[in-house]
Each structure stands twice: as structure tokens, then as C-alpha cells.
Amino acid sequence: RKEVEQDPGPFNVPEGATVAFNCTYSNSASQSFFWYRQDCRKEPKLLMSVYSSGNEDGRFTAQLNRASQYISLLIRDSKLSDSATYLCVVNGPTGYALNFGKGTSLLVTP
């Protein structure tokens, strides 16, 4: 079983739509969780950390379900500029290295 699994998509949504991504992880001892965003031919950049109680940053909401070992990202009121690949990231066995999902591709259309 892969450490971190995501639906690769692509998710094609119209502007203004709400879209949700899920991600599952296999290491129940993981303590740190993140969503990164990666634009085409660019490096990944942190979108938001994911906290146990759930957290929100503007149009973005992240949630963690430890019992089921999954993480979600909700994007409300999608913008064209949200088009990117979203990477689910979980810290690995050593604690230092991070395990990256392969990413979910989002395309927001006019």
C-alpha cells in the first residue's frame, strides 16, 4: 500500500464551483499533514497545514480524520487561478522526511 494516495483527477470545474479532494495515508503514527500546491513546471509550495480540529484559510478548508486516516481539502468559489496540482503530504517514519501523494489535478474553467 502506498504511503499517501490521492485521486489524480483531473477535476474540471467551472468558476465559482466548490470542489473537494480527499487523500488517505497508511502510517497511523503520522503527526504532520499538509496540502501543497504545484503549478505547472514550478516547485511545490505550501498551501496550508492540516490540524486535528480542522482549519480554514479564506476559501480553503482542510480537515483531518485520524480514525479513518484521511485528509480533505475543500475549495469554495473556485477561481481560474486555483488551477494547479494539489499534493497531499504526510510526515514519514523518520518524522523529518515527508511523504507526498502524486497529486490531484484541478482545472477551473470560465
Partner 1 sequence: DVKVTQSSRYLVKRTGEKVFLECVQDMDHENMFWYRQDPGLGLRLIYFSYDVKMKEKGDIPEGYSVSREKKERFSLILESASTNQTSMYLCASLTGVGETQYFGPGTRLLVL
Task: Give the binding site for partner 1 (CB under 8 A).
Answer: 31-32, 34, 42-46, 49, 87, 89, 91, 94-98, 100-103
As measured in angstroms, the least distance from the Cβ of 62 to partner 1 is 14
Residue 84 Cα distances to 11, 38, 55, 94, angstroms:
10, 6, 21, 29
Nearest to 23 by CA among 69, 84, 54: 69
Spatial contact of 69 and 25, defined as CB atoms under 8 Å apart: yes
In the complex, minimum distance from the CB of residue 4 to partner 1, in angstroms, rounded to a whole number: 9
Between 20 and 46, whose beta carbon lies closer to partner 1? 46
> Of 71 and 78, which has the nearer Cβ to partner 1?
71
- H or E segment and range at residue 8: none
Q: How far is the CB of 18 from partner 1 (least distance, A)?
A: 26
